[in-house]
A and B are shown apart, each in its own frame.
Chain A
Amino acid sequence: MREEGEEEMVTPGEMLGKASEVKAGKGAYVADYRNSGILCVFSSLNGLRRTVSPSPDSPDQRPTIEVTGHKAHGAVPEPGSVVIARVTKVMAKTASADIMCVGPKAVQEKFSGIIRQQDVRATEIDRVDMHLSFRPGDIVRALVLSLGDARAYHLSTAKNELGVVSAESTAGATMVPISWTEMQCPLTGQIEQRKVAKVGS
């Protein structure tokens, strides 16, 4: 059979194996083969197929077949993914942000996200001042909570490693983080308040 690590180009709809022998991972799905009653695993993407061996302690010992798209296409935000967004509007109880990257991938066209007052931080969530947490133009790292409504995804910065990653001071320089609530401008020494993300160890 095929060794692990060997890759082959597959197209959507190609049969990858029988469902009794392999599991369908990302980029593959299980369906009936031409109404014959035999379930087979088909590919749903155009890309390279990879076989992942099962972990030795799982009850199901079938290898998983995954298909990864060969083109680095724009990603779509999904609940649970960490995104990088730029804040566009700050209001009394919410802040709007444009999602620019999903995980390591950049999106092709921006998605709209919204950070609500109760999702800015984990403690004292009713006493959050939005203007002391974000300013328009800040780059934040956030987590997608849910798909939200028709207009925007719901984002959250309520973790240590989430929050403002990079911000510009009123003088125009990139600020340096001092604590989890303050950033300082290197040119003027002014300290501004933000909800800062903890970067690094």
Chain B
Amino acid sequence: MDPPPPSSAPLLSPAPPPGPGFLDFLLKAVFQRNSKYRVQRMASKAGAALTTYSPAPSRNSRTPIFSDSDVDWVRPDGRGFHQCRPAFFRTGAVNAAAGSAYAEFGNTKVIVSVFGPRESKKAMMYSDVGRLNCSVSYTTFGTSIRGQGSEHKEFSSMLHKALEGAIMLETFPKTTVDVFALVLESGGSDLPVIISCASLALADAGIMMYDLVAGVSVSCLGKNLVIDPMLEEESCQDGSLMLTCLPSRYEVTQLTVTGEWSTANLNEAMQLSLDACSKLAEIMRSCLKEAASGPQD
């Protein structure tokens, strides 16, 4: 008598299929003791070996920091988990540049200056769309560790990827727009602040863009999602997600995910960051409008 074919949906079958002997006893024991593994059995003769298995994602094996509560973390500055730091933006910080902006999110302070469109270097080949050249550097007093961290070297190309989707490159052919970002103090969540500040500087310089670029990062600490992490939270996070989008066009220009994420957490983090980006864009727009109307008064 053949055992009935295995059903794929439930993890635990309500009654073990009838069948001879030891193998069946072993299966029953495995199912009852360890619900983590789902076993697929090929229907056929007795004594057929287990051919495939697929482990389900295991629950958090790390001991929680606070064993008697739901939360894994308390934020050092007393913010809620879904609360961002207050944002301060100011444009026109650098007189020599075509456009510039200064951003301060808590302890993270960034200044970005934009030069251009100006002539490309003679060595570059002709291109009928404009070029974007980004450079991110840290001051020597900006971080508490000596030298640049390993991720900071990639920030220049990540900034380039986040901005190039928003700029209309065909409006300045053959020329280059240079974006120089300088991090005066690194207090966590550096790259999203750099990206938001750079898009304000580009708007200040009069470069034609499809929309402002707002960036937000979310950290996963245990099972909690924490938005706009600080330096201490970033150093003990399990995973991080950074999203930059064009808020009023509802398009994402860059999404960077690192570390461990479960699907549910990932979805929730993306929704959270999209919502935060649209709120951040409102603040950026009001800063641009204030800067324009201020000197006229």
Residues of A within 8 A of B (CB): 9, 11-15, 27, 29, 31, 34-35, 42, 44-47, 69-71, 73-74, 76, 108-112, 147, 149-151
Question: A11-B288, A147-B173 provided; 20 other pairs, C-beta below 8 A?
Answer: A9-B289, A11-B212, A11-B285, A12-B208, A13-B246, A15-B248, A27-B208, A29-B210, A46-B203, A46-B204, A46-B206, A46-B292, A70-B292, A71-B206, A73-B205, A76-B117, A109-B115, A109-B119, A147-B126, A150-B122
Bound complex: CA A9 to CA B206 (Å) = 14
Cβ of B180 to closest chain A Cβ, rounded Å: 15
Q: Which residues of B contact A110 (CB under 8 A)?
A: 119
A sample of 30 inter-chain contacts (CB < 8 A) reads: A11-B284, A11-B289, A12-B208, A12-B210, A12-B212, A13-B210, A13-B211, A13-B246, A29-B168, A29-B210, A34-B249, A34-B250, A35-B250, A42-B248, A42-B249, A46-B203, A46-B292, A47-B292, A71-B206, A73-B205, A74-B98, A74-B118, A76-B172, A76-B175, A147-B128, A147-B174, A149-B126, A150-B122, A150-B125, A150-B174
Q: Which residues of A contact B206 (CB under 8 A)?
A: 45-47, 69, 71, 73
Cβ of A186 to closest chain B Cβ, rounded Å: 37
Which residues between 194 and 215 of chain B lie within 8 Å of chain A, taking CB atoms? 203-206, 208-212
Bound complex: CA A47 to CA B208 (Å) = 11
**Given A11-B289, A14-B285, A109-B119, A71:B204 Cβ within 8 A:** yes
Interface: B247 (CB within 8 A): yes
Which residues between 111 and 142 of chain B lie within 8 Å of chain A, taking CB atoms? 115, 117-120, 122, 124-126, 128
**Given A11-B285, A46-B203, A150:B120 Cβ within 8 A:** yes
Determine the residue in chain B with the shortest Cβ distance to A44. Answer: B208
Q: Which residues of A contact B250 (CB under 8 A)?
A: 34-35
- Number of B interface residues in the complex (CB < 8 A): 38
B248 touches A31 (CB 8 A): no
Q: Which residues of A contact B258 (CB under 8 A)?
A: none
Determine the residue in chain A with the shortest Cβ distance to B250. Answer: A34
Bound complex: CA A46 to CA B205 (Å) = 9
Cβ of B71 to closest chain A Cβ, rounded Å: 35
Q: Which residues of B contact A12 (CB under 8 A)?
A: 203, 208-212
A73 touches B98 (CB 8 A): yes
Interface: B54 (CB within 8 A): no
B212 touches A13 (CB 8 A): yes
Interface: B256 (CB within 8 A): no
Bound complex: CA A13 to CA B207 (Å) = 13
